[in-house]
Amino acid sequence: MQRDATEYIAKCFELDANRNYYFKGVWINTDYFKGIETDIKSSFVFPEIHDEVNMKWKEMIENTNSVSIHFRGGDYYKNGFSVLTNNYYTRAISLILDKVENPVFFVFTDDIVNAKQSIPDMDCCYYIDNNNGFCSYVDMQLMSMCHHNIIANSTFSFWGAYLNNNSDKIVIAPTTTVGSCELPYQSEGWFLL
């Protein structure tokens, strides 16, 4: 059993391949994916988007210098997890503004009220909160289509950024961890703030 979702347990690869094992954990450490990144990305493919609202978002994301911002509030407040501050989002947005020409920001959230209080007011910013319940994965899908990503301390936005196939993507991740995790959710080449 994995107690820290960010730890790497090398022993998993030394187990007897002829026996059955039950693994429980989040397995967010990218050391597990070393050498098979292409396989991971080709295995996790989203279905086509067909609904009118998300088709509109998809078109805007594909036709702009899009940057996803993920704000996770709702269940984090309820469960006592660290919710990212205005300071983190301000610094991350400043870094994007320094490196990306004409960025358009797309905020994905389960908590639009607190997101609007935590994310600085800016031009060219859209809040997406129409994908709930069973359709929540569409937010991750749209995040993965953005050119760049500002993620929360959340595996949900980690995967949105990790599955982003833009070879020139800029990904900004927080150093703030969740629960018992010791390391931030990050991948090689991402900026930590």
Name the band, by pLDDT with cuts 50, 70 and 90, for residue 184.
confident
| C-alpha–C-alpha distance, residues 163 and 183, integer Å | 20
Provide the whole-model pTM: 0.91
pLDDT digits (tens, 9 = 90+) for 110-169: 899 999 988 988 889 999 989 988 999 999 999 999 999 999 999 999 999 999 999 999
Name the residue with higher pLDDT: 8 or 139.
139
**Cα-Cα-Cα-Cα dihedral of 147, 150, 154, 155, to 10°?**
20
Name the band, by pLDDT with cuts 50, 70 and 90, for residue 55.
very high
